[in-house]
């Protein structure tokens, strides 16, 4: 299945100030998260942001939040975003069937969210270079397991070029 601009939404899970510093490969992770957010801004694709227990884990990284149009994070306590009514309401309001997922931690909230989104009938795409965990092996295992159960695996650039389809696209730079 191929990504299309009109059917896609991006979910950024829990990229928060107190959690991010302990992630494996955090410099590359932030670079790729910024790349996908900026690309989606240009393509006018909606972005949903979640924050896990903000009181303890802090807000979304300011450099990321500052690049998200209409930044309004959804607070959550469930590990799966789908365990929160406001998240499900926003997903229904947007009316997109293809969900691209990035964020942290891969083996906890990202994994559980992807599984639940599949169960709800969404086409789920995991950005392998826009997710991480404290332990790189947890990230690797998550990618392998999610790929084996039907989640589509992509990199940030792969997803962006797939959405553009051609170098003649008016938003191609």
For 135-152, how does the pLDDT look when each residue is reduced to its tens digit (9 = 90+)? 999 999 999 999 999 999
d(CA 37, CA 64): 8
For 32-91, how does the pLDDT look when each residue is reduced to its tens digit (9 = 90+)? 999 999 999 999 999 999 999 999 999 999 999 999 988 999 999 999 999 999 999 999
pLDDT of residue 169: 65
CATH of domain 5-162: 3.40.50.850
Q: So where are the chain's domains? A: 5-162
Confidence label for 172 from pLDDT (cuts 50, 70 and 90): low
Q: Is the pLDDT of residue 168 over 80?
A: no
d(CA 154, CA 163): 12
Q: What is the residue whose two structure tokens read 């997803």?
A: 159
């Amino acid at each position: 299945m191929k990504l299309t601009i009109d059917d896609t939404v991006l979910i950024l899970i829990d990229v928060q100030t107190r959690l991010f510093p302990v992630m494996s490969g955090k410099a590359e992770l932030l670079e790729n998260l910024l790349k996908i957010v900026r690309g989606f801004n240009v393509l006018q694709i909606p972005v949903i942001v979640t924050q896990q227990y903000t009181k303890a884990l802090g807000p979304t990284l300011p450099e990321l939040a500052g690049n998200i149009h209409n930044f309004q994070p959804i607070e959550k306590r469930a590990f799966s975003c789908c365990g929160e009514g406001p998240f499900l309401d926003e997903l229904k309001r947007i009316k997109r069937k293809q969900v691209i997922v990035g964020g942290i931690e891969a083996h906890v909230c990202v994994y559980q969210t992807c599984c639940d989104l599949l169960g709800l009938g969404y086409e789920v795409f995991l950005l392998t270079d826009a997710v991480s965990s404290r332990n790189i092996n947890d990230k690797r295992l998550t990618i392998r397991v999610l790929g084996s159960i039907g989640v589509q695996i992509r990199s940030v650039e792969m997803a962006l070029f797939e959405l553009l389809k051609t170098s003649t696209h008016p938003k191609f730079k």
